[in-house]
């Protein structure tokens, strides 16, 4: 392991080392998307994919429960749901999801951070680690967090409206000095539409009692692990709702607002 100062504005010691894992790069290096992000954000909240089918494509990821009843995180092959009440629990693999993204996570690069980083500083630092702007990256961040703010949506009833119109209904949760894991991705712009591009993280506390979609955070001492993927697969819903969905509408602004949790 070599240790060097990678980032000028970080005064803390940051160690970066590549994990020798060449053989693992030859298989199971695919990002799998069950569902279609734009269609989901546009209101297709009915679940059609059993988690046990999703888990065949990965043991790490994030997504949404049936009828938008909170947020989903996949870690070590287990599925966790955080509802709008804050209740967090393990989900049976026989249950269904409308949209979940997974991969088999194998760390190819690891960095230790020993400094408080806000979300924006963390993303700037990640940008310095993730050298391929068009790369597909899975990112796992574990350790102590000084502050975490997450959100979860309440369950929806028909007629469904786009997710951006439901932002006033989202519930927020704050955690201070919490140990846990961030599970997420940096997805390149060319995958816009079927996937949510840019950074996207969900959180699970070590005691498995709290989680949700990340809105804000400040790290403490954390370990960042990165896996670069080389392909993606999108499993398209075989439903009438998907057949009739209008893909001509530009939903990029809506997606951005939903990801940031901001009403306008």
Binding site for Zn ion (CB under 5 A): 213
Contacts of 28 (CB under 8 A, 6+ apart): 103, 104
Residue with tokens 């990256």: 137
DSSP state of 43: T
Residue 259 Cβ, how far from Zn ion at the closest point, in Å? 7
Residue 51 Cβ, how far from Zn ion at the closest point, in Å? 16
Residue 23 Cβ, how far from Zn ion at the closest point, in Å? 32
CA distances to 7, 192, 261 from 129, rounded to whole Å, are 9, 22, 26
User: Shortest Cβ contact with Zn ion: which residue?
Assistant: 213
φ, ψ for residue 52, nearest 5 deg: -65, -20
SS3 260: helix
Locate 43 and state its tokens. 């209101």
Locate 230 and state its tokens. 């080389």
Q: Which is nearer to Zn ion, 188 or 198 (CB)?
A: 198
Residue 201 Cβ, how far from Zn ion at the closest point, in Å? 8
Residue 202 Cβ, how far from Zn ion at the closest point, in Å? 6
Q: Which is nearer to Zn ion, 125 or 199 (CB)?
A: 199
Q: Which is nearer to Zn ion, 108 or 213 (CB)?
A: 213
SS3 161: coil
Q: Which is nearer to Zn ion, 184 or 237 (CB)?
A: 184
Q: Which is nearer to Zn ion, 149 or 213 (CB)?
A: 213
């Amino acid at each position: 392991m070599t240790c060097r100062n990678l980032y000028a504005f970080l005064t803390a010691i940051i160690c970066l080392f590549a994990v020798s894992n060449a053989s693992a790069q030859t298989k199971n290096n695919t990002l799998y998307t069950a569902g279609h992000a734009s269609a989901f954000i546009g209101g297709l909240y009915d679940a059609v994919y059993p988690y046990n089918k999703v888990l065949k494509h990965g043991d790490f990821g994030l997504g949404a429960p049936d009828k938008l009843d909170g947020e989903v995180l996949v870690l070590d092959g287990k599925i966790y749901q955080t509802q709008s009440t804050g209740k967090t629990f393990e989900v049976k693999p026989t249950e269904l999801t409308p949209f979940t993204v997974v991969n088999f996570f194998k760390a190819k690069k690891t960095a230790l951070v020993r400094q408080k980083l806000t979300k924006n500083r963390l993303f700037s630092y990640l940008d310095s680690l993730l050298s391929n702007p068009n790369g597909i990256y899975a990112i796992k961040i574990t350790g102590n967090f000084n502050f975490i703010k997450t959100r979860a949506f309440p369950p929806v009833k028909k007629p469904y409206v786009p997710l951006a119109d439901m932002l006033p209904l989202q519930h927020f949760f704050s955690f201070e000095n919490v140990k846990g894991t961030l599970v997420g991705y940096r997805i390149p712009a060319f995958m816009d539409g079927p996937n949510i591009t840019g950074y996207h993280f969900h959180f699970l506390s070590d005691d498995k009692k709290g989680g949700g979609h990340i809105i804000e955070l400040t790290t403490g001492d954390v370990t960042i692990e990165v896996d670069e993927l080389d392909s993606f697969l999108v499993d398209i819903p075989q439903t009438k709702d998907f057949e009739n969905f209008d893909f001509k509408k530009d939903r990029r602004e809506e997606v951005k607002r939903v990801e940031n949790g901001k009403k306008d």
